[in-house]
Structure 1
Amino acid sequence: MTTAPGRRSSTFTRLLRHGFTDPSAADQLLGLDALTSVRSDPVLLEALGATADPDLALRGLVRIVEAEEESERQVLLDTLITAKPLRDRLLGVLGASEALGDHLARHPRDWQALVTYEAVDLHPGVAEFERGLAEAVDPDSLRVAYRRCLLTLAARDVCGTTGLAQTAAELADLATATLRAALAIARTAAPEDAARCRLAVVAMGKCGGRELNYVSDVDVIFVGEARDGVDETKAMQAATRLAAHMMRICSETTVEGTIWEVDANLRPEGRNGPLVRTLSSHLAYYQRWAKTWEFQALLKARAVAGDPELGAEYVAAVSPLVWGAADRENFVPDVQKMRRRVVDNIPADRIERELKLGPGGLRDVEFAVQLLQLVHGRSDASLHSGSTLEALRALAEGGYVGRADAAQLDEAYRFLRAMEHRIQLYRLRRTHLVPDDEADLRRLGRSLGMRTDPVAELNKAWKRHASVVRRLHEKIFYRPLLDAVAQLAPAESRLSAKAAAIRLEALGYADPAAALRHLEALSSGVTRKAAIQRTLLPVLLGWFADSADPDAGLLGFRKVSDALGKTPWYLRLLRDEGAAAENLARVLSAGRLAPDLLMRAPEAVAILGDPEGLTPRTRAHLEQEVLAAVGRAGDAESAVAVVRGVRRRELFRTTAADLIGSYGTEDNPAEQDHGALVDRVGSAVSDLNAVTVAGALRAAVREQWGDTLPTRFAVIGMGRFGGHELSYGSDADVLFVHRPREGVSDEEASRAANTVIGEMRRLLQLPTADPPLLIDADLRPEGKSGPLVRTLKSYEAYYRRWSLVWESQALLRAEPVAGDEELGRDFIELVDPLRYPMEGLGEDAVREIRRLKARMESERMPRGADPTLHTKLGRGGLSDVEWTVQLMQMQHGWAEPGLRTTRTREALAAACAAELIPLEEAQTLDEAWVLATRVRNAVMLVRGRPGDTFPSDPREMAAVGRYLGYEPGHVGDMLDDYRRITRRARAVVEERFYGAAT
């Protein structure tokens, strides 16, 4: 029969109004003969329209009706119309879960499980679910019975009869009953194994905490014991077979689907360990080998199946270990590592849709709650719950988390878990991804009660709750610490001083009492300054805790704030400029050098908020600033004080950029090109020292001679200074050269040159708290016994007659850094033939260079120093690489223009390009040189004084490790890597330097 167009239009409008998205298909389904008796009943249409997906619900209903025998079909349809509870349950499930619709199509009679809801059915426990699974005698019948029980559970969920927490608890209880049924089937299949052993199944994770998802791995640990008179080895083999069979029953996939995966990888040694252990074996492992995350996992341990007494013994035995985990020596680095791994390993294209692991996701809540449980549960048994929501409530009642924060976190967690449940319920697949398909989002939104604009409402609510979680994840760690000392929160919601100290200690603060005093000084009171700092500190404390020295970071922040707290722009900068506060936290907690520089000039903190602030200033720019300042100064000492101020500011800029580039921030991840970072630091420090020398020279000349010195005068940088490779603690190696002006005698010119050198040195060595700049002229001809300064003609005469091979080698890095530019160029023109001799080096010269290197290795290594860890003179260190490169420069520089550079890495790259050294060997040398340089820089940054080997203090060593990119607890890996890299470099040196052909 053909439907009139007007009637069809009216029908379509009615279907659209009831939430159908495909009214044409829905109209055809409603017109099927199987639905003749109910198609015109408005009750049915209203009920379908109330579901999450009316189209899906109608298709599911048709499949069930068509699968039923004709005699039963009308019973279903009549009941559907007359019994509202059944109608709501059945259609609600069909509209939310395609997978349960498939189950009902295969087993149409299972709809009858939804007919009656006795009082006990509203909140069934393990016993009720066990009765529902009692008839299952094999894996397939267990799967069918499990889905039938899940059907009733899902119906209570989608109809709102149970809330999120109750649904999750029921899912865990159903899992418990299923594990027991599966173990019973395994025992029936192998009665001889069952007779040999006691086997307990301990649930972990969400199942252990009675907060399970619809589809989730069920984490378990197996504990076994031999029965009386049975050999333990045979008993454990029997227990292992039973456990493995039980896992297969639950995990295997058949036409009836999979129940869920049983995952035993949380056991000692993970998948590499035995599947079943005795209780004593478990305890031996936990007491000796377990890591903090394993105790965090055990927090939810609950005996669920098998031998109940053995399971209870296990839980009782591990509980003291769980609640003592925060006292372990490695607790803090383990916690820091776990915090950083919250969002690790999420593909970039999925992170924004990740409900569980993404920023503001479920894992943020769970981790925060579990960490606070481990920290405070040592002394407060009320926190010993495996349920996230129950534990959160206990934390709030105990004052460990603010009540308002706990309430917001509870609401957000319930919403996100409800989203996760409905996403998984649709196809009963394990996923934590929010769908990106419009239809899926619409169904998801409607399943959560959103009707006006489900997709927009869902996205808005989701983002709002995720934002709350992300903000509170940091806040709940640290805000209560401020409340404990600021005396602003109600007393019942403040941490006690003891609890606050415990939390600070667990977060890595070595002196929690001092930290609390700093917090009180920073956050107490009603001033604008205190209010802003109370806003900033929760986040800053987190960044400090993520560093190697949280105490130093907090102390440094207090000092800077004491110095600048009344300056209007300071706190506004930290509050409003996103990167400034994080940059400051990283710099203050990374070592002594950068904070010491900042304490001397706190206003330099403004650099951290300027997008261009961390970019080194050019040498020309700095020289212009310095020379102008010297010109305005009243005397030489005042002038050099200004020069030192510029050096201090720029050295802070360089150290801050180095630290932030090495550690990275949320908005600025750590740089991976360590060589580029080393080059940038070397160039910046070298330029800064050159400008400082130029400023001191100008000040010394003006003090006695006005604008013109009687002799032209130039400073030649040598060593790392000339090579643009200075580290933070390097001396400035120099040569001084002069040329008398016309009409000035040699004697007068020499006196003037020596006087200006003496004055420069005096000015640069005036007492100061700044890092010193020591000028070292020992590389001059004849060394310490030779004249401090020579004329260009004197240098020419000396080099022509007396020059030794080591002096030619030293001149490889000669480059003018200050003074008369023309004279500097003339000096370089003079020495080029010496450092790049025509036809290279003779055999005797090569032997002499090797002899000098070997002598230096044997004589200059400090007594007691580990030669495998000494960055300058040790195996594969700076000296090894530099002498090897310099030998190639002296041998081939006359023919290869690229070798005629003062920079080590540039010369090494040129040697590789000229095929003087294979690429792999060049890369090996370069890697070792960069690493050794980074270690030297790190030591100076961390200790505030130079050093050529790793520090012995554990905290300083950890800070060096963080600078080099190693997570806490991996200092051993850092030393192993250094030894490995430099050992490989030394092998190249042995071949290319000591074995090189002349």
Structure 2
Amino acid sequence: MPTNREAGQQHRNARPDTPTGRGPALTGHGPWPSTRARLLWAGFTEVDRAYGLLTDPALSPLLPAVSPAPDADIGELPALDPARIRLVDELGRTADPDLALLALVRLAEACTVIGGPETAAEPTAGPDTVPADAESDGVGAPARTLARLLRLEPVAGHTDTGAPDAEADVDSAEQELTGHRSRLLAVLGASQALGDFLISHPEHLDALAPARAWDAPGRPDVATGLHDAVAAVLVDAPTPLPEAFTGRAISALRVAYRDRLLAVVADDLTAASPLAHLPTVGGRMSDLADAALETALTIARAVVGPAAADVAMAIIAMGKTGARELNYISDVDVVYVVGPAHRDGIERAADSDAAADEENILRVGAQIATEIARITSASGAEPPLWPLDTALRPEGKDGALVRTLDSHLAYYQRWASSWEFQALLKARACAGDRQLGAAYEAGVAPLVWSASQRENFVDDARAMRRRVESESAQPGPDDRRIKLGPGGLRDVEFTVQLLQLVHGRADARLRVRGTLDGLQQLSAGGYVGRADAAELADCYRMLRLLEHRAQLLRMRRTHDLPAADADLRRIGRGIDRRRLKDADAVRRLFHRVRRRVRALHEEIYYRPLLSAAASLTTEELSLTPAAARERLAAFGYLDPDGALHHIQALTEGVSRRAAIQRQLLPVIIGWIGQGPDPDHGLLSFRRLSESIGGSHWYLAMLRDSPVAARRLCQVLSGARWTTDRLAERPESIAWLDDDAELAARPPGAICSETERVLRRRSFTATDPAGIEQQAAEAIRAVMGVRTRELIRAALADSLDGVDPARTARILGDATDAVLGAALTVATGLVIAQRDGPAAVAAGPDAEGAWPGAAARHALIAMGRLGGREITYTSDADVLFVHEPRPGADPDVAAAEAEAVAKWVTRLLAQARPHPLEVDTGLRPEGRQGPVSRSLDSYAEYYQRWGSVWERQALLRARPCAGDRDLGARFEALIDPLRWSPDGLDDAGLREIRRLKARMEAERLPRGADPSRHVKLGPGGLSDVEWSAQVLQLTRAAQVPGLRTTSTLEALSAATQAGLLGVDEAGKLTAAWVLASRVRAATVLGTGREGASRVEVLPTEPREIRLVGRLLGLPAGRERDLEDIYRRTARHARRVVEHVVFGDAAPARPAPPTTAAGTRPAGPRGNGQARTGGTSGAAGSGGSVRPRPPRRPRGAGPYPWS
């Protein structure tokens, strides 16, 4: 015989087309192959037991008799009659059909016992056998009510007579019975505790009728219902109330409470959307608790006796009760306030008997409060309602149980901790003396909404939150806490409350008690993003719903998700039988919701904006003109009135954008005010906000991000160049929220990106002008990538301190990629101009080479670009090299190469707004020679005419774009020259020294102070670089580490080889880094790019502040920069004089050569483009055609050379 599980599995396998977890509609007979299958699909887990209960004798008087069934197959169950089939279908819609059916049988037994078997209809009886005059409160009424519900038979007298009114009455009666039965079974299937209550009190079956629903028309309010139930017991009772009367009154209260609780639960379980209905449940449970406390107060006064008449008491609901978010079963947090019973009693404080009166009031009030706790929470004939918790009173459990209003206020004004004001946010007078309760609310409200101004309020609240989490932590993956666990209810509640307390003092709309109401107002006011608020609210509802359903089974206080699969299945089916049909689905939902809540909590709760806003006065937070002007002046705004005008322009109006600006600006003006140029910073903030403030992400990111707003303020008030770039590409502001976006891209990433950009653009024009225009557009597109990387580097430097190495890497990679792209575009353009547009229509191949090209092309980076030391204003120093393709005419290849080089230079120079100047002045013969040379021509030139300064320039040469093989061969060509085994002879060293001396004497701008020039002054960039290069020229053949294009790497290698002392290398390195930082900071801070301004220490006070702060100097100490730089440069200069002008670089004797500083004019070698003037072809065998002699020119790369 198969087990129930096996039978269910067999049935599922037999019906693969049935939707998972649902099966065919559970109505009528249906196409079911067996009774067992029907019960399984209805959701019964113990099928044999369920069948036994369906045919239990207790149901026999209430349902038709079971007809004898023919012999069933082995393991099969007999068929069910239609009435029981309908019951099974109805049970299948409950959370736990097994639990519901068992409770139904027990309820039938209880009804039969109370009413006697003669009160129930006989099995074969018809509708008329149910007496028409049955009253629900008479003997036998529960059995008759249950029989009508199970048979769906209306009371006699509602039979159909054919009249329209009669038909309507019948329909109405049937709908009432159907709804009543559905509500009964839903409660029995979800709550064993309420099932037990009905079994103990079957006369309350009618409480589940739709006509007795919570908000049914004509239904008395809950306070009246509970009061009347107790009043009926206390009629003619003596006072003080004897214990016997007290017990009956308590029982009457508890039974009446649960009678109304049945309506709350039934409405909840049959709601179309349990999530949407959840706030209604919290509100109704709070109303029920209020009514219970009011009634308990009435009983307590009767118990205490006449003395209670002299005492006014107000019961203040706290926590979830105060917020009207009460669970089904939870602690009810209250605080008691007492006073004289008469209105003028509060004014008698100066009377001589005031102290005695107060002592009596407190004594009697404590008696009343003690009785209230006994009435609601002590054991008795009926189970207690809930624990009554008074721990939130002043001084907690160590404090007095009751206090006067003045005592409460005095405590909160003098002694209360920050967390107590967070608790008071929920305080609500719920029972007792209304005037006293209103006075309490009015007295504590100003204290609550000014609490965030307490010192370290936000930090204290966060610290307490972390401490509670740490103390209640449950290690391990099986954390089932709905309330206290990470991502639980407390995360949502604390997040909402903190934002309310910080912003609520300036925005009265936020002064609400409920969590969901608070979220709604925070969203409407722009304090939380709409999407985040909606998601947080949905998650909160789901967690509360899970908590409610976990409590509902036994009506026990729990805030954990059950561990047992059966309990989770019950909860899931009660919420959504289709999606949450098993325990694992509920667990997955729970963990997913908690993860999302935790993420949102950490994003919102720990915003730096909250701490900053909490430190402001209410006037400052409200941006009143007087307070704003005073604060602007205090922060160093030079034009407070102008700044106030910017603020008013940003905050006026009722738009959501203006609302968010009103939150941000009180903090923003402070953060901007901490920068060196707050006036310009606030103006820039206004311009940016007006430009992109309408974008959904901009203001939301500034509000929500833990770092973005403060970083933006730092940039706007301290880096004008960076600010201008942000205005050009405002989408890059989003990088401020992501550290990874401020870091250099991985190697090769920018080059790959520019290649993708070019692949999306092709030469499709059919005329030369169109081709040229498309080439310019392609270059503008790839230059946009470089501009973006400029902004990336500038943001990183502006925020994290200027870092030359990081900047050089970001800008070097971008410049290499742009040069490569420009070389590709220029080559295609030249081919199209030479051979026609059709020659380039197919585009370049996968390697970027054009099929119609006559030569291979490569770019060699020189100078700072070659050394990977490029900065914001650097040009691109390059050499162009080419090599004819096999079979190509060398002259055609040379002409192509010359044209390509010129187009590269021209296209990049025209790419606005940030062109890239390509400088080819370091090529052989300088500006008099061809722009591009063949590899053979370079080899012949350097072999015959290469000079010391050209060797020095080649120290930084590296291939950066174009044909990789050609670039590598060029590098191999120049290595023996720059890393010469012969080193640097005496003549070469003298030439180096002569050039350096002339540069120091002639290159400095007229009138400039050499000690303040960071490039050419003593100890500046040039000094350090020449020192490294002298060591490279001298010893690179013996020290492989010196074979590098990087200045700092060369200094490091020289130190490791013993050529420099550690202290000497440290001084040179410090000077080079500081000079590089000063130059970059001057560009970023002042926004100027001209060499005459960025290579000199600033002199204007504003510029000194900007540059100094970018370099990390504290406010007020920016002028120390000049002393720091002079001292660092002075130390470096001593090392330079030793290395360059002293004996640190030994030289060898010079071999016979031409006179120093003179040489024949540079030749035109093989592969060099013709420049006109003479005829003759370049030889193919490497011969050189000499030019006529000309006036010797000085050796060196400088204009004066």
- TM-score, normalized by length of structure 2? 0.43
The alignment partner of 1:733 has SS state of strand
State the SS of the aligned residue for 1:768: coil
Give the whole-Å Cα distance in 1 for the aligned partners of 2:633 and 2:876: 43
Q: Which AA in structure 1 matches 2:778?
A: A
1:873-912 CA-to-partner distances (Å, cap 9, x unmatched) read: 0110111111001111111101111110001111111110
Tell me the equivalent position of 2:904.
760
Letter in 2 for 1:637: A
Deviations 1:136-181 (A, max 9, x none): xxxxxxxxxxxxxxxxxxxxxxx999989999xxxxxxxxxxxxxx
| Counterpart for residue 808 of structure 1 | 951
1:285-434 matched pairs, under 5 angstroms: 407-408=450-451
Residue 587 in structure 1 maps to residue 715 in structure 2: yes
1:46 aligns to what? none
Matches within 5 A, 1:514-663: 514-634=642-762, 635-662=774-801
Distance across 2 between alignment mates of 1:960 and 1:566:
33
Q: For 1:449-505, what per-residue CA distance to the aligned partner results, in whole angstroms no more than 9, with x for missing partners?
A: xxxxxxx9xxx9xx9899969946545658746744xxxxxxxxx333xx5334312
Q: Are 1:702 and 2:828 counterparts?
A: yes
C-alpha distance 890-774 of structure 1, shift in aligned 2 (>3 A) = same
TM-aligned CA deviation for residue 412 of structure 1 = 5.6
In the alignment, the residues of structure 2 paired with residue 935 and residue 789 of structure 1 have an alpha-carbon distance, to the nearest angstrom, of 35
Alignment match of 1:993 (pick from 1140, 1150, 1173): 1140
Distance 1:551 1:403, change over 3 A: farther
Q: 1:586 to 1:800 in 2, by over 3 A?
A: same
Work out the CA distance in 2 between the residues paired with 1:543 and 1:618: 33
Task: Spell out, residue by residue over 1:94-141, the C-alpha distance to the aligned partner (whole angstroms, 9 max, x if none).
Answer: xxxxxxxxxxxxxxxxxxxxxxxxxxxxxxxxxxxxxxxxxxxxxxxx
- Equivalent position of 1:721 in the other structure: 865
1:919 Cα offset (Å): 0.5
Q: Distance in 2 between matches of 1:161 and 1:611?
A: 48
> Partners in 2 of 1:414 and 1:806 — Cα distance?
67
- For 1:943-982, list aligned pairs within 5 A: 943-946=1086-1089, 947-982=1094-1129
Structure 1: gaps (5+ residues): 1-83, 86-158, 168-354, 361-401, 418-433, 439-455, 485-493, 663-673
Give the secondary-structure state (helix, strand or coil) at the position aligned to 1:713: strand
Superposed displacement of residue 954, structure 1: 1.6
Distance 1:923 1:413 in 2: 44
Q: CA offsets per residue over residues 749-768 of structure 1, 9 Å max, x none?
A: 12111211221222112262
**Counterparts of residues 447-466 of structure 1 (less than 5 Å):** none
Which structure: greater helix fraction?
1
1:684 is aligned, of 806, 810, 822, to 810
Which AA in structure 1 matches 2:1008? Answer: A
Separation of aligned partners in 1, 2:1070 and 2:975: 29
Deviations 1:385-414 (A, max 9, x none): xxxxxxxxxxxxxxxxx9989933566689
Aligned ranges 1:21-36 → 2 under 5 Å: none
Give the direction of change, closer, same or farther, for the CA distance of 1:404–1:523 in structure 2 (3 Å limit).
farther
Q: Equivalent residue for 2:3?
A: none
Give the distance between the partners of 1:475 and 1:414, measured in 2 at CA: 7
Q: Structure 1: how far apart are the matches of 2:865 and 2:459?
A: 58
Aligned to 1:736: 880
SS in 2 for 1:573: helix
After superposition, give the CA deviation of every residue in 1:180-205 in whole Å (9 maximum; x if it has no partner).
Answer: xxxxxxxxxxxxxxxxxxxxxxxxxx
Residues 1:411 and 1:789: Cα distance change in structure 2 (over 3 Å): closer
Distance verdict in 2 for CA 1:615–1:479, change over 3 Å: farther
Q: Name the structure 2 match of 1:495.
A: 625
3-state DSSP of counterpart to 1:813: coil
Matched, 1:831 2:957: no
User: Retained in 2: the 8 A contact 1:935–1:960?
Assistant: yes
Helix, strand or coil: the match of 1:599? Answer: helix
The question of whether the paired residues in 2 share the 8 Å contact of 1:720 and 1:726 is answered with yes
State the alpha-carbon separation in 2 of the partners of residues 622 and 776 from structure 1.
22
The change in CA–CA distance for 1:854 and 1:950 in structure 2 (over 3 A counts) is same
Q: CA deviation at 1:506?
A: 2.3
Deviations 1:48-85 (A, max 9, x none): xxxxxxxxxxxxxxxxxxxxxxxxxxxxxxxxxxxx99
Decide whether the 8 Å contact of 1:731 with 1:775 is kept in 2: yes
Q: Give the conservation status (yes or no) of the 8 Å contact 1:587–1:660.
A: yes
Flag the 1:909–1:526 CA change in 2: closer, same or farther, 3 A: same
Q: Is the 8 A contact 1:719 1:813 kept in 2?
A: yes
Hey, what's the Cα distance between the residues in 2 that align with 1:542 and 1:990? 49
Q: Alpha-carbon deviations, 1:410-459, whole Å to 9, x = none?
A: 66689999xxxxxxxxxxxxxxxx9xxx9xxxxxxxxxxxxxxxxx9xxx
Distance 1:520 1:792, change over 3 A: same
Identity within the alignment, %: 43
Query: What's the counterpart of residue 913 of structure 2?
Result: 769
For 2:870, the aligned partner's letter is L
Does the CA contact (< 8 Å) of 2:827 and 2:900 recur in 1? yes
Q: Per the alignment, do residues 932 and 407 of structure 1 end up closer, same or farther by CA in structure 2, a change over 3 Å counting?
A: same
Cα displacement (A) at 1:618: 3.0
Alpha-carbon distance between aligned partners in 2 of 1:752 and 1:891, rounded to the nearest angstrom: 38
Do the aligned partners of residues 564 and 416 (structure 1) sit closer, same or farther apart at CA in structure 2, a change above 3 Å counting? closer
Distance 2:964 2:410 in 1: 85
2:1011 to 847, 868, 887: 868
Deviations 1:660-700 (A, max 9, x none): 211xxxxxxxxxxx7xx321111111111111111222222
* Preserved CA contact (<8 Å) 1:412 1:466: no
Q: Which residue of 2 aligns with 1:320?
A: none
RMSD: 3.7
Aligned residues: 552
Post-superposition offset of 1:559 = 2.3
C-alpha distance in structure 2 between counterparts of 1:694 and 1:552, whole Å? 38
Equivalent residues of 1:876, 1:928 under 8 A apart:
yes
Instruction: Report the equivalent of 1:904.
Output: 1047
In structure 2, distance between residues paired with 1:930 and 1:480: 47
Change (3 A) 1:476 1:632: same
Amino acid at match of 2:632: L
* Runs of 4+ that moved beyond 6 A: 159-167, 402-406, 413-417, 463-470
Aligned residues of 2:808 and 2:869 also touching (Cα < 8 A): yes
Partner of 1:984: 1131
* Distance of 2:448 and 2:929 partners within structure 1: 74
Distance 1:975 1:577, change over 3 A: same
Could you tell me whether the CA contact under 8 Å between 1:523 and 1:531 is conserved in 2? yes
Aligned to 1:791: 934
In the TM superposition, residue 729 of structure 1 has moved relative to its aligned partner by: 0.9
Q: Counterpart of 1:277? A: none
Which of 745, 748, 755 pairs up with 2:889?
745
Superposed CA deviations along residues 543-597 of structure 1, whole A, max 9, x for unmatched, are 2111111122222222222222222222222222222222222222222221211
Query: What are the within-5 Å matches in structure 2 for residues 272-287 of structure 1?
Result: none
Structure 2 equivalent of residue 693 of structure 1: 819
Letter in 2 for 1:721: L
- In 1: Cα distance, 2:1014 partner to 2:656 partner: 49
The amino acid that maps onto 2:1031 is M
Contact 1:164–1:414 (CA under 8 A) maintained in structure 2: no
Report the secondary structure of 2:1065's partner residue: helix
Matched to 1:680, the amino acid is R
Q: 1:165 to 1:579 in 2, by over 3 A?
A: closer
Q: 1:680, 1:750 → 2: CA distance?
A: 38
| Contact 2:632–2:669 under 8 Å retained in 1 | no
Say if 1:475 and 1:538, in contact at 8 Å, map to a contact too: no
Letter in 2 for 1:579: V
Tell me, which stretches of 5 or more residues in structure 2 are unaligned?
1-357, 360-406, 420-444, 461-466, 472-489, 504-607, 763-773, 832-839, 845-849, 1147-1201
What is the SS of the residue equivalent to 2:707?
helix
Q: Structure 1's 602 and 409: CA in aligned 2 closer, same or farther, altered over 3 A?
A: closer
